[in-house]
Amino acid sequence: MMLIEEKAAERGSKLIALATRRAGDFYKAIGYDESAIYFKKALS
């Protein structure tokens, strides 16, 4: 993940946003903050 962050910064990115609940503990452990909850609904 550090390599991805470094490459993103080199390209001028100011933010990385990830939509995941399954890996939330992992991202919190490496310094990411929870900032949103997403909702979805399958239409059948």
Residue pair 38/24 in contact (Cβ under 8 Å)? The answer is: no
Residue 8, pLDDT above cutoff 90: yes
Q: Which of 15, 19, 12, 13 is nearest to 34 (CA)?
A: 19
Per-residue pLDDT at 16? 94
The pLDDT, as a whole number, for residue 25 is: 93
Domain ranges (residues) in the chain = 1-44
Q: Which residue has the higher pLDDT, 9 or 39?
A: 9
**What is the pLDDT of the chain when averaged over all its residues?**
92
